[in-house]
Amino acid sequence: KVKTQLEEKEGKTFDVFTAVEFKTQVVAGTNYFIKVHVGNDEFMHLRVFRSLPHENKPLSLHSYQSSKTKHDELAFF
């Protein structure tokens, strides 16, 4: 659901977009930290926010880190 948000921010499309690892952090909603394979040996780390159910808001891409590798640790950011 956040792929199009990332593509808009990066100004390109991703043929490969596969989540390979994730962590969560409970706040006033939930932050998801997701390692995504975007093709070749390229990975990105995404921070996605899901609001509380009663707020009825869509998932939002809060921030991301590019130029990551498969072996980079997925950490909170």
What is the DSSP code string of 4-48?
HHHHHHHTS--S--EEEEEEEEEESEEEEEEEEEEETTEEEEEEE
pLDDT of residue 46 exceeding 90? yes
Residue 76's pLDDT is 85
**Mean per-residue pLDDT of the chain:** 92
Do the beta carbons of residue 17 and residue 36 sit within 8 Å?
yes
Residue 49's pLDDT is 95
Q: CA-CA distance, 35 to 42, in Å (whole number)? A: 10
Residue 53's pLDDT is 86
Residue 32's pLDDT is 94
Residue 62's pLDDT is 92
pTM of the model: 0.84
